[in-house]
Structure 1
Amino acid sequence: MIEHTLRSNFVFAPPPDDPTAWQASTESFRDALTRDFPDAFLEINASALRDVPVVILDFEIEVERDVFVAGIAAMPAPDYAHVSIVDMTAHTAALFARWLRDSYVASPSSVRFLSSFVMESGDETPWSLPATGDATEIATVLLSHLAEPERR
């Protein structure tokens, strides 16, 4: 695996045993993005998830100068959300994850994540995002997660 070029989709969600831990809503997520990323592209849409109508928020933000994150926040139930970011390196995903953990969720220990890269190997077990630490420390955990299929 080459750290700088491996790209994956990452999904962030609250713990499976406490799906409302983030106290999320489309409005609160949109407001947090607008507050912290004034030039964000935001678009609210409706979609269907397993034949259930779901409000989704498409977004694109600049997490660092000339470093952009595009994603979707889906709100399939009251107080529940999952956020997907698309085609990211671990470093870029870590910048977003740090913002999500430190600026949006109600509890820093309530963020779980998966990557499409690992899910393609058949592993759908969420990992915990570190409750503390900077983007470099988060990137280390994301890279360990991405290396998991190679360890088997």
Structure 2
Amino acid sequence: MTTEHNLRSNFVFAPPEDNPAAWQASLETFRDALERAFPDAFLETNTSSLRDVPVLDFEIEVAPDVFVTGTAAMPAPDYAHVSIIDVTTDAAALFAQWLRDSYVPSPATVRFLSSFVMENGDETPWPLPATGDATEIEAVLRNHLAAAGAE
């Protein structure tokens, strides 16, 4: 019997700390990539109340009836992060695979952190696997949450 995992968390994805410009990201290129991959995406540019920088709020359907809501902040080539909010690990894995395989220039340049781990005082990002499908990414996300005692 399989246990269904409905635990939800927030995840943040970012370039490597030692190479913050690795993505060479901008809100425009991220918006364009989302529009190409998810034609029915909800996309809205706003200003972050926390940092007073432009952000892109989005909601996309990563699989039939599986939606991911998030915010991307990319105000400079050497600063980028994408947060997804209140997602299960399977939905987060689908988004992470798209980000790694379709947006960032090198699959080895994505690291992530969850709100559960941060709430426990650990702010050390984990690397996203550079290869593998969403199932393999989901296993890494689950291990990350388990390290914080969330699973």
Please indicate the TM-score interval, normalised by the length of the shorter structure. over 0.9
Look up the SS of the partner of 1:57 in the other structure: strand
| 1:68 alignment partner AA | F
Look up the SS of the partner of 2:75 in the other structure: strand
| 2:120 alignment partner AA | S
Q: Deviations over 1:66-123 (max 9, x none)?
A: 0000000011323531000000111110000000000000110000000001110111
Aligned equivalent of 2:83 = 84
Look up the SS of the partner of 2:149 in the other structure: helix
| 1:17 alignment partner AA | D
Look up the SS of the partner of 1:73 in the other structure: strand
Aligned equivalent of 2:127 = 128
Aligned equivalent of 2:15 = 14
TM-score w.r.t. structure 2 length? 0.93
Gaps of 5+ in 1: none
Cα RMSD after superposing both structures: 1.5
Distance 1:123 1:3 in 2: 26
Say if 1:48 and 1:62 are closer, same or farther in 2 by CA, change over 3 A.
Answer: same
Look up the SS of the partner of 2:83 in the other structure: strand
The count of corresponding residues between Structure 1 and Structure 2 is 148
Gaps of 5+ in 2: none
**Deviates most, 69-78 or 108-117:** 69-78
Distance 2:135 2:7 in 1: 16
Q: Deviations over 1:31-62 (max 9, x none)?
A: 00000000000001122545xx3110000000
Distance 2:4 2:118 in 1: 18
Distance 1:25 1:81 in 2: 8
Distance 2:125 2:17 in 1: 9
| 2:61 alignment partner AA | E
Identical counterparts, % of pairs = 74
Distance 1:129 1:4 in 2: 20
TM-score w.r.t. structure 1 length? 0.92
